[in-house]
A and B are shown apart, each in its own frame.
Chain A
Amino acid sequence: MFIPFVVPGLALYVLAVLLPLLQTVAFSFTDWRGVTPPKFAGVENYRHVFTDPTFWSSLRHTLAFTALGYVLTFGFGLFFAWSLTYRFRGKHVVRAIIFLPCLFSVLVAALLWKFIYHPTLGPLNALLSKVGLDSLALTWLGDVRTAVPAVCLAWVWQSLGLWVLLISAGLERIPPELYEAARVDGASEWAVFRHVTIPLVWEILRVLTVLWLIQALQQFAFVFVMTKGGPAGVTEVVTTYIYGVAFQSRNYGYGMALATSMMLVILAVTLVVNRLARKESVEF
């Protein structure tokens, strides 16, 4: 009786989401290059993945982006969400301004930051030279020392609002009486934050961390738009590498082996983080 209501959507969804997941794994064992039909190649692709220096360097960069992005997103996210639990004038405006960038296309945000970092036309270097710090004015995205944090900052700025919102939703669940009780006992603001707020939102932070990691480890757009993996490959992440292998070199089989390997990395990282965070919460 319910079948006609469910089947059209389910068919499209299975065809475009679940089937490609299985195909990615299945075709990763072939030498498919698009022209000839795929031929089974055993574990040849995976042998190649293991010895591919670009895969390992791009994986290192992905992990570096993720680590830096995590510290910034959850550091500022927690701090801003906590600051927004206080009542003050203009709170709604502040909340809206922090939130707005995550409603922008990643492309617009990436272009905006590309302008900010532009060595001659951008406001950042102009500002530095105005305050007499010309020596600090760099080609931010073209310098191997600054490219990774520069791209990371753009990405964190664009996505921060959503995480502030989600962490706020967690903080709002804490009953105010607990804060009162702690303060009556003479706890400092930091002590309240450390010993009341953090333990009580720990479970939510753990869930949000895993959700964030799954997205962050697949980060593509900011690197692709801002640096294309350059300079000298220092910002090349796994997803931009796969894009190049699959859609520029048309080496589909190998691209899917890289993608499958990355899925395993994501699975491993999220499992480990989930496990460590769970252990930690037992201490409280």
Chain B
Amino acid sequence: MRSRGSNRFGAGIGALTAAAWLRYLALGAYCAFSLAAFLWVFLSSMKTNVEFVTSDPFSLPSRINFSNFVTAWNRANVGRFFANSVVVSGASTIGSLVLAFPTAYVVARMKSGRVRWVEHAYLTGIMVPTILTVVPLYLMFDRLHLVGTRLGLILIYVALMMPFSVYYLAGYLKSLPSELEEAAIVDGCSLSQVITRIVLPLSGPALAAVLVVNFLWAWNDFYYALIFLQNKETFTIPIGLYNLQFYAEYSLRYADLLAGMIINIIPVFVLYLFLQDYIVKGLTAGALKG
């Protein structure tokens, strides 16, 4: 019996049914649109301010010109926003791994009632509508003088990353055989030695998936940055660009904004290029945990 795949396309172009035409046409049109949209932003980011406002939106830039990126980076503070984003996303991602990995190990390996209680606390968190519970968090951080600081945002990101990180890492650790760890404990290893010397080196793929999913989430977050950051010195890229937008509209200087958008997505492209499988695995598991 032919496999499903060869049955469907192996017959060749001439045999395409109406349904097949519809599928390829729809996929093709959708992808063409998305590519055109990326390309439009990229080409527009090379136009001068005057050119962008006066020329046909479909015209090509008058020359290959990356000076907008330099201006955006320096004069429009995108460089500073970028550095803030690296610090905030990097620190919160590392923080989430450092805190979630031992927790995940305990959840995966220990059977006591109190451990189940911890697991349930994290599983509850997956269903909390966190967008709606931000007001008391803001007031709490305000009293702790953490509003407007990068540290405050890092702490919030770590807390919000915990449920997914623990869930994903614990799921992975449960799939590892525990004989090696038991042998190590018999030989006198402490729990922290077991975690760092035996389990950690085996957990590369799971850590990579959690790392890249958490990093991308923090890199792209707009909501918490909007509420918890208040001045240019601490802005991450999304909130920085959001504020740049008002300036762009007011003074018709769109070049910085378009270049800033490209700068924001370049690291995402790079991560996707190299870590595509981890991203896909992490996001699929992350959404299906519910």
Contact = CB atoms under 8 A, between A and B. Distances in A.
Interface stretch (A39-47, A82-90, A136-144): A82-90
Interface residues of A, number: 90
A198 interface: no
Interface in A218-267: 218, 220-221, 224-225, 239, 242, 246-247, 252, 255-256, 259-260, 262-263, 266
Contacts of B160: 16-17
B62 interface: no
A200 interface: no
B26 A239 contact: no
Interface string B118-144: 100110110111111111111110000
B137 A16 contact: yes
Interface of A: 1-2, 5-6, 8-10, 12-21, 23-24, 27, 32, 34, 76, 79-80, 82-88, 93-94, 96-101, 103-108, 111-112, 115-116, 121-123, 126-127, 130, 157, 162, 165-166, 169, 176, 179-180, 183, 189-190, 207-208, 210-211, 214, 217-218, 220-221, 224-225, 239, 242, 246-247, 252, 255-256, 259-260, 262-263, 266
Interface in B1-29: 1, 3-9, 17, 19-20, 23-24, 26-27
Interface of B: 1, 3-9, 17, 19-20, 23-24, 26-27, 30-31, 34-35, 37, 40-41, 44, 52-53, 56-58, 99-100, 102-103, 105-106, 110, 112, 115, 118, 121-122, 124-125, 127-140, 155-156, 158-160, 162-163, 166, 191-192, 195, 216, 219-223, 226-227, 237-239, 241-242, 245, 254, 257-258, 261, 264-265, 268, 271-272, 276, 279-280, 283-284, 287-288, 290
A173 B162 CA distance: 29
Helix, strand, loop or mixed for chain B's interface? helix
Contacts, number: 243
Nearest to A238: B132
B140 A20 contact: yes
28 contacts: A2-B191, A5-B191, A5-B192, A9-B103, A12-B159, A13-B125, A16-B137, A17-B125, A24-B133, A27-B136, A87-B8, A88-B24, A94-B27, A97-B34, A98-B34, A103-B216, A104-B268, A108-B241, A112-B41, A121-B53, A162-B287, A166-B284, A183-B7, A207-B288, A218-B131, A218-B132, A220-B131, A255-B135
Contacts of B272: 96, 100, 103
Nearest to B5: A87
A104 B263 CA distance: 11
A10 B222 contact: no
B287 A6 contact: no
Contacts of A2: 106, 110, 112, 115, 191
A19 B156 CA distance: 13
Helix, strand, loop or mixed for chain A's interface? helix
Given A15-B140, A218-B129, 5 more contacts: A9-B99, A20-B135, A88-B24, A96-B276, A220-B223
